[in-house]
Structure 1
Amino acid sequence: MTLFNIGLIVVGIILVIWGADRMTDGASKLARDMRVPEIVIGLTIVAAGTSAPELFVSLMSALKGTPDLAVGNVIGSNIFNTLLIVGCSAAVAPIAVAPNTVKKDIPFAIGASLLLFMLCADDMGSVHLWGNEISRSDGIILLIGFVAFMVYTFQMAAKDGKLDFLDEELGVEREKPKKDYTHLWRNLFWIGLGLGCLIVGSHIFVNGATYVAYRFGIRQSVVGLTIVAGGTSLPELATSVVAAYKGRSAMAIGNVIGSNVFNILLILGITSVVHPMRIMGITIVDLMMMLISIGLMWIFAITKYFVSRREGWVLILTFMGYMGWLLYLL
């Protein structure tokens, strides 16, 4: 039975990752056919697509009465993104960071992390956060923060003159696009299929992870911080490492920042509004590691506007140390 549920975890991960890829690809093509500006695609469809695994796994976990998996998934994914993904990408090739990213975008991600810290750590008298709750009102605050982030990003893009249509990429003059219902229905099919795989895959994944945690006496929060977080962050890891290998490692920073902000403000915002989450296993140490990871990346980036290979290995070793701490708690 245990091997069967481990198999369910693997199948769930595959379905979630494949479904997110299909949904994102179909939605991107649909938006391009409709001549939606590229920045809009990146900030909405692509960003939502890469965060879809975390969203569906967290939402399903909360609805099934396992909130530690949901909160642990988000906190663990952010730690995974910042330490392991940026670390591995920088270890492959140093990552250049734009000044605006260092001065504006990363501080916004730090602010989102601090907001989550304050919402979770209502009582700082103990290392554990037993009984603390991310309520519906907290979720509304997070969603307001997400809207503010989107408004800010669009304003910056418009100010920089980046809201342009994809004329050069499409190779056509700016004109009213011809209707192609074949492409329309094909893209809608892939969006629907991807969404279905996300729902089914997250359901299977949460069931398998919950059983394994119960069978071996592992806290659900630890499962969320490790297995669930790592599984839902695999698309970002693969994308960033491949990009670094191809000499385009700068996109890793933007990928991590956007994913971290989406995870906290949008995913936990939606999840807690749908189903308030009582925290039972997340500790102050976990929240502090989330803050330390994004702060460490910011310190490395602000020095010379790039993250070196040596700094990448520091991030990786920090991640390994945190995983060792979680294993020690078992």
Structure 2
Amino acid sequence: MIISSLLVVLGFASLIFGANWLVDGASSLAKKNNISDLVIGLTIVAFGTSAPELVVNTVASYTGLSDIVFGNIIGSNNFNLFVILGIAGLIYPITVQSSTAWKEIPLSLMVSIVLFILANNFFINQNLEISRLDGIILLVFFLCFLYYVFKQLQQEKTTAILAETKSNYKIWGLIIVGIAGLIIGGKLVVDNSIAMATELGVSQKIIGLTIIAAGTSLPELMTSIVAALKKNSDIAIGNVIGSNIFNVLLILSISSFVNPVKYDPNFNQELLILIGGTVFLLIAMFTGKRKKLDRWEACILLSFYLMYTTYLVAKEI
């Protein structure tokens, strides 16, 4: 138990340094190439911080741990939405671009609804699962998302305010080392947290929804906190929205290719919470200060998650 605790602390340190390097490298890449921070957040940063979910889910799918797969995906997305945006919004109110309010957030909502429909097989009378065919459907949606980002990149007309002095080698070095730090740190935290939780006899579903979901979302958490502290709202929210889209469309599709993932209808409650939370975020863009997640709205997100998680754990005990 002591060794596991020390490794968790080491994992957190790796996450903190990795997040800082990734944000610095990604921001420098954006400035040097006149690419917006939002596009970088939706792609490079989102993919990098989603790497732990990809590793955990691939292994879980291969070994037939379907509850871990869905618990990690749905739990991570809820953690991203309620906790990470909640904490980042409390640190510094998150101002978003028009495209985020009108396109990216609704797109994230649509992805959650598509997952709900496919997982429950509303149109096909067969076993509840994400089959390989469902995985292909999700992957097609993911390719459409990448096309949307590519078109947005072409339409952007950004101008660098400050000349970026970092070399390409240093920029990509920061990004690669940062992502490596996030992956290693996430794995250390997850593996050792699971080891400690297993000793306490916690169920696979609860471990997936809480410990693994929170653990694999630590890269997103650290990255968005660092971005919020640096008042970089585009990376803070782009990281969360992009990661939620990556988790469902890319990571779950890859998991289904490894093995069809059986779906437990008990996850419907968490999926509906994810859909409801995304609707709340969308509404928040048009209340109070428009196109901004205010501190009181961020507080609502964080408070709800803490209360719901307390309820889940209490029910399990």
TM-score (norm 2): 0.79
Shift of 1:258: 1.0
Match of 1:116 in 2: 115
Match of 2:88 in 1: 89
For structure 1, the 5+ residue unaligned runs are 125-130, 173-179
State percent identity of aligned pairs.
38
Shift of 1:88: 1.6
Match of 1:153 in 2: 149
Q: Does residue 247 of structure 2 align to residue 266 of structure 1? A: no
Deviations 1:129-157 (A, max 9, x none): xx732221111111111110110121122
Residue identity in the other structure for 2:240:
V
Deviations 1:190-241 (A, max 9, x none): 8888887777777666654555454333221211111112122223223323
Q: Over alpha carbons, which structure has the higher Rg?
A: 1
Q: Tell me if structure 1 keeps the 8 A contact 2:88–2:94.
A: yes
Match of 2:139 in 1: 143
Distance 1:24 1:147, change over 3 A: farther
Match of 2:305 in 1: 319
Distance 1:98 1:190, change over 3 A: closer
Deviations 1:7-47 (A, max 9, x none): 66666666677778778988999x89xx8774676554333
Match of 1:291 in 2: 275
CA distance in 1, matches of 2:296, 2:21: 36
CA distance in 1, matches of 2:122, 2:311: 23
Q: Secondary structure at the match of 2:286?
A: helix
Q: Tell me if structure 2 keeps the 8 A contact 1:93–1:247.
A: yes
After superposition, the CA RMSD in angstroms is 3.7
5 Å matches for 1:28-43?
Answer: 38=35, 43=42
CA distance in 1, matches of 2:224, 2:15: 18
Shift of 1:319: 1.0
- How many residue pairs match? The answer is 308
For structure 2, the 5+ residue unaligned runs are none
Residue identity in the other structure for 1:81:
N
Match of 1:58 in 2: 57
CA distance in 2, matches of 1:190, 1:262: 22
